[in-house]
A and B are shown apart, each in its own frame.
Chain A
Amino acid sequence: MKFRFTEEQRMLQESAERFLQEHSSTAVARAAAHLPAGLDLSLWQQITGTLGWQAVVVPEDQEGLGLGVVELAVLLEQSGARLSPVPLYASAISALALRSTPASPTRDGLLRAIASGEIVSLAHTDARPHWDDRGVDVTATQAEDNWCLSGSARFVSGGAAAAHLLVVARVDNVPALFAVPADHAGVSVRHQVTLDQTRSMANVTLSDVTLGSDAALVLDWGRSLSTALDLARVLVAAEQVGCAQRALDMTLEYVAERVQFGRTIASFQAVKHKAADMMLKVESARSLMLYAACTADAWLRDAVDDTELREAAAMVASSAGDAAFFVTGTGIQLHGGVGITEEYDIQLYFKRARALESYLGRPDEARETIAQLLLDEPASRGAPRAA
């Protein structure tokens, strides 16, 4: 039992921290908000060209690094801490989604595209208001050898700069996964301005998009959609932990400088106790996030079943979602008046925490998932994973 990073993971963490500290300040994040796709593509090129983060969970057969969710979590925590305007999450969840689809030339090509730094975005839901299969709006119909897709998806991370979209569409009301080139006729991708200004989101509209039979990566993707969302929740939690940790750090820096009544406000017990509560939440969320990342890796190895993954994802969605919102909100409070100005960065973290808290389901919805596992009859649980 060694519930701590290996030497390699620690080195990855340190190098990511160093790189982003130097190249991904909040000024970079603020500037990217005004770029067409809401992304800093030159920063992304630097990352894909020299660091290879986009390829972390791409299998080695497809020119990836073949590493796991723990390594991804290490990176996403750091990019979350810097609000880095790069499609790291988008690439990661797409690669993980593709890993759970059967091998085919299309699938392998997409994994290679991700490894080479091309952006592939998962377009799975319209989220009105459900994030799971109930939110899938796109429908696919088969005509002779072709597929025809129509409908819309929102909250497509990195979508406005994507070369390829992984579109979840209903085939006879069952979710299926399609590969759709972003520049294909009938595909419209529009950058979406969000309350959180620094995490790129897009809307995708498909109008009679006609694709060959090889575009269907897998039919009957319902169970995999559900597990892909659980993996996504683990990745989001890593960003949340990074966001919360950085918000705590910048708040500590501020209260150590600010003087009132002839002393730094950091010396007031009321402030110290809030800071202690912030750390309690961050460290607790971090412990669960590391567990959830290990569980995700175990799931990828077939060592645990879907239910265990779902439980881990729901636990960390509840914990990290609440932690990031509490810590960034308390961060604004401890900044006092300047906390609500545009100039100070704490507001960016607060907005990010708000966005991530509701992305893929609120913390209370995650707790309801746990309640179902604990309190309801086994019949209402998901089917156990096939051997």
Chain B
Amino acid sequence: MQLEFSREDEQFRGQVADWLRDNLCGAFEVIRGRGGPGDEHHFVEERKDWERCLAEGGWTCIGWPEEWGGRGASIEQQVIFNEEYARAGGPGRMGHIGETLTGPTLLAFGSDDQKRRFLPDIRSGQSFWCQGYSEPAAGSDLSNIKTRAEWDDQAAVWRFYGQKVWTSLAHESDFIFVLARTDPAERGHRGLGFFLVPLAQEGIDIRPINQLTGTAEFNEVFFDGAVCGADDLVGEAGDGWRVAMGLLGFERGVSTLGQQMLFQVELDEVVRLAKLNGAGQQPALRQRIAEAHIGLRTLRYNSLRMLSGEQDGSLSREAMIYKLAWSSWHRNLGKLAMDVLGPDAELVESGPYELNRLQSLFLFTRADTIYGGTNQIQRNLIAERALGMPREPRGDQ
């Protein structure tokens, strides 16, 4: 067992840290630590500029093969990059959907033409992507997609009709990848297609969803005849589920340590406050603060186990518990922050409803245990896939 990174990897860490120190400054000072979950709609233009700065330094898409402008970075190096990025206060990545979802999907399932048309602009920070999976009737039951993709023989294009929802930053993106039903006679996993659709066109209407935090980073995206070309279908019509599921397997946890670095910043803030206002001398809060500390360290060693696992693409037991573990931890931290703040937690000090960081944390972490598979769905997955218990029956089959 070896907890330390190799000397080469530590050199790589120094290289990343140096570059970030020299570049995340000046005009970019203002976006330090901004644009994370709950704050994604802020400083969009500055963060797009930052993506181009990263790209020039060769720090976008580092896990991609060199052939497509990446560094072919190892899992360890990707982990280190994410860790240092978070440590330096790097802003929420505008390019992360393109880099971590679209790119790997095209590398695995895309045609050479698709790779040539889309990968370079993702790599250089010129095009930004959003994700078109969830629909009003397809949340936890993702395969229940109703959005239709109809082949228009006359115009030789695919036309889309329907609605996507919970689409982060749709109004700031150039493209959306859309999971849509190509065969209306099919249900569930069958008869779906995975499409690459430009957003700037007739037939697409993007409407923000106002959240409990008073902000709006999610959107509804309505399709009424919007189009994409025949060559914008990834894989075959009817093959969409396989492509979509492949995409979910790509991330492999390389961003988890970076995410935990942000969690650590939040926890440090709570600890600092508790020492300052005396909450840290209350026995019940001391227990909960200690528990939060232990929980975050547990996430770290879960991740290290996950990242050290066999590289055969199968999900290990520690990978299967990860979403449930971090989302529950983070939601509890939000509540702990309120309790440490005490009576002041209730006071909104600026704007009509401009929340401070911890208030925003408290409210927005209620989403953590819902998106990306609710805690209830996670428990089903753990029980069925890790523990081999019987699958839930469907009500419509």
Residues of A within 8 A of B (CB): 1-6, 9, 70, 252, 255-256, 263-264, 266-267, 269, 271-273, 275-277, 279-280, 283-284, 287-288, 290-291, 293-294, 315, 318-319, 364, 367-371, 374-375
Contact = CB atoms under 8 A, between A and B. Distances in A.
Interface in B267-291: 271, 274-275, 280-281, 283, 286-287, 289-291
B386 interface: yes
A70 B376 contact: no
A41 to B, nearest CB: 33
Contacts of B387: 252, 272, 275-276, 279
Contact of A294 (B1, B291, B380): B1
Contacts of B2: 1-3
Contacts of B101: none
A370 B390 CA distance: 40
Contacts of A4: 1, 305, 308-309
A374 B294 CA distance: 11
Interface string B1-15: 111111001000000
A186 B251 CA distance: 66
- List 3 tightest A-B contacts by C-beta distance, closest first: A272-B383, A370-B290, A287-B301
A240 B90 CA distance: 40
Interface in B376-397: 376, 378-380, 382-384, 386-390, 392
A279 B382 contact: yes
Contacts of B271: 374-375
A267 B287 contact: no
Main SS of chain B's interface residues?
helix
B4 A1 contact: yes
Interface residues of B, number: 49
Given A1-B5, A70-B1, A375 B294 contact: no
B325 A371 contact: no
Nearest to A280: B321
Nearest to A248: B387
B6 to A, nearest CB: 7
A4 B302 CA distance: 11
B297 interface: yes
Contacts of A263: 390
Contacts of B274: 375
Given A277-B379, A371-B286, A283 B1 contact: no
B304 A3 contact: yes
Contacts of A275: 382-383, 387, 389
Contacts of A2: 1-2, 308
Given A272-B389, A280-B325, A315-B297, A375 B1 contact: no
Given A279-B321, A368-B286, A9 B1 contact: yes
Contacts of A318: 290-291, 294
B361 interface: no
Contact of B382 (A256, A276, A288): A276
B380 A3 contact: no
A357 B276 CA distance: 33
A263 B392 CA distance: 12
A267 B321 contact: no
Interface in B342-397: 376, 378-380, 382-384, 386-390, 392
B265 to A, nearest CB: 15
A45 to B, nearest CB: 31
Given A3-B2, A4-B1, A267-B389, A272 B290 contact: no
Given A3-B305, A290-B301, A279 B386 contact: yes
Contacts of B301: 3, 287-288, 290-291
Contacts of A287: 298, 301-302, 304-305, 318
B76 interface: yes
Contact of B294 (A273, A283, A315): A315
A288 B6 contact: no
A263 B76 CA distance: 46
A269 B291 contact: no
Contacts of A280: 321, 324-325, 382
A318 to B, nearest CB: 6
Interface centre among A267, A271, A293 (most CB of B within 10 A): A267
9 contacts: A3-B307, A5-B1, A9-B1, A275-B383, A294-B1, A367-B294, A371-B287, A374-B280, A375-B280
A260 to B, nearest CB: 14
Contacts of A368: 283, 286-287, 290
B293 interface: yes
B316 to A, nearest CB: 9
A317 to B, nearest CB: 10
A284 B386 CA distance: 15
A1 B9 contact: yes
A272 B380 contact: yes
B290 A290 contact: no
B2 to A, nearest CB: 5
B117 interface: no
Contacts of B382: 275-276, 279-280
A298 to B, nearest CB: 8
B322 to A, nearest CB: 10
B291 A3 contact: no
Contacts of A269: 380, 392
B116 interface: no
Nearest to A4: B308
A291 B271 CA distance: 23
Interface centre among A255, A277, A294, A374 (most CB of B within 10 A): A374
A266 B383 CA distance: 9
B21 interface: no
